[in-house]
Amino acid sequence: MNPVFSPRFTVRRIARRLALAGVIGACTVASISTASAQDTAGAVFGKAPLGYSVAVRSDATGAGRTVKVDASGRYSAHALPTGTYTVTLKQSGQDVAKHLNVPVIAGRGVEVDFNCSEIRCDEVAKMP
C-alpha cells in the first residue's frame, strides 16, 4: 500500500492543515484592531477657576456635556465625537465666558483654558 494514501498519513495531513488554519486564524484575529473611543473621538481639557463648571457643546448637534472643575483647577471632557464645539465656563448655571469654534479631532485632545486674569470671572457674560 502506498504510504501517501494510508489512513495514518491522511490523518496527519489533515491535522497539520487544521493546525496551520488555526495559527493563521489566530494571527488574523490578533491583527484586527478594534475601534475604541480614542480612535473615533477626541477630548477637551484645560484650566478653569475652582467652583465653576465647563459645558462642551457640539455646534452641529447641540450634544455635549458639562463637567466640574476639580480641586486642582482642571477639567476634562472625553469621548467627544469629532466636530466643532463651543466651550463655556459656567458659574451657578450662568455663562461667564465662551470659546467658540473649538475643533475636536479623533484621537486627540485640545486644551481650552479659562484664565480669570484675562476674563472677568466675577461677572456673568452678556449674551446677545
The neighbouring-strand residues paired with 6 are none
Interatomic CA distance for residues 13 and 25, integer angstroms: 18
* pLDDT surpasses 90 at 5: no
* pLDDT surpasses 90 at 19: no
Q: Where are the domains of the chain?
A: 1-32, 37-111
Interatomic CA distance for residues 40 and 61, integer angstroms: 17
* Contact (CB, 8 A) for 96 and 124: yes
C-alpha angle 12/14/20, rounded to 5°?
Answer: 100
Task: Report the chain's C-alpha Rg in angstroms.
Answer: 28
Residues 68-81 pLDDT 10s: 999 999 999 999 99
Whether domain 37-111 has CATH 2.60.40.1120? yes
Interatomic CA distance for residues 48 and 119, integer angstroms: 11
What proportion of the chain, given as a percentage, has pLDDT over 70?
68
pTM: 0.65
Confidence of residue 13 (pLDDT cuts 50, 70, 90): confident
